[in-house]
């Protein structure tokens, strides 16, 4: 099956620093990648949608200057949390979609997640 990896799996940083999280599709080329955030005991919240070679589309309420997304290739997307603060501490999960289109082949394959703790 389709495998998506994330790196790092866990990161602790000081307030004010920036953190980069990588998301890779290992055995397929992903037209579209998605970034989610999940707080404890809550559901996943979609942050942004990114297509290779174009700017990401952010969900309402998500600051694009704070959460920088780069999708430079069909197998790699990165999320950079800039000037992180304790309230940014969360579980960040990426997913990748083969075609990125609605319909029968729309399933997303999720990475294992990255636990970010900002001190």
Partner 1 sequence: DAKTTQPPSMDCAEGRAANLPCNHSTISGNEYVYWYRQIHSQGPQYIIHGLKNNETNEMASLIITEDRKSSTLILPHATLRDTAVYYCIAPTGNQFYFGTGTSLTVIP
Inter-residue contact 25 to 4 (CB < 8 Å)? yes
CA gyration radius, the chain: 14
- What is the closest distance, in whole angstroms, from the C-beta atom of residue 56 to partner 1 in the complex? 12
Q: Which residues, other chains included, contact 81 with Cβ-Cβ below 8 Å and sequence gap of 6+? A: 18, 19, 21, 66, 67, 88, 92, 116
Considering only residues 87 to 106 of the shown chain, the ones binding partner 1 according to CB under 8 A are 91, 93, 95, 97, 100-104, 106
- Shorter beta-carbon distance to partner 1: residue 66 or 115: 115
- Taking CB under 8 A as the binding criterion, the range among 14-22, 40-48, 66-74, 75-83 that sits at the site for partner 1 is 40-48
Q: Check binding of 60 to partner 1 (CB under 8 A).
A: no
- Shorter beta-carbon distance to partner 1: residue 15 or 42: 42
Q: Check binding of 110 to partner 1 (CB under 8 A).
A: yes
CA 56/CA 58 separation, integer angstroms: 6
Q: Assign residue 41 a region: left if phi > 0, alpha if psi is -120 to 50, beta otherwise?
A: left
Q: Check binding of 46 to partner 1 (CB under 8 A).
A: yes
Peptide bond into 8 cis (omega under 30): yes
Which chain residues interact with partner 1 by CB under 8 A? 1, 4, 6, 32, 34, 36, 43-46, 49, 91, 93, 95, 97, 100-104, 106-113, 115
């Amino acid at each position: 099956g389709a495998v998506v990896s994330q790196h790092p799996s866990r990161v602790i940083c000081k307030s004010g620093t920036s953190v980069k999280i990588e998301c890779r599709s290992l055995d397929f080329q992903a037209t579209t990648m998605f970034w989610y955030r999940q707080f404890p005991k809550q559901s996943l919240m979609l942050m942004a949608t990114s297509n290779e070679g174009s700017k990401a589309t952010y969900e309402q309420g998500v600051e694009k200057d704070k959460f920088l997304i780069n999708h430079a290739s069909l197998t790699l997307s990165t999320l950079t949390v800039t000037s992180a603060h304790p309230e940014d501490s969360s579980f960040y999960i990426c997913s990748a979609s083969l075609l990125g289109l609605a319909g029968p082949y729309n399933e997303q394959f999720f990475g294992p997640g990255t636990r970010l703790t900002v001190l």
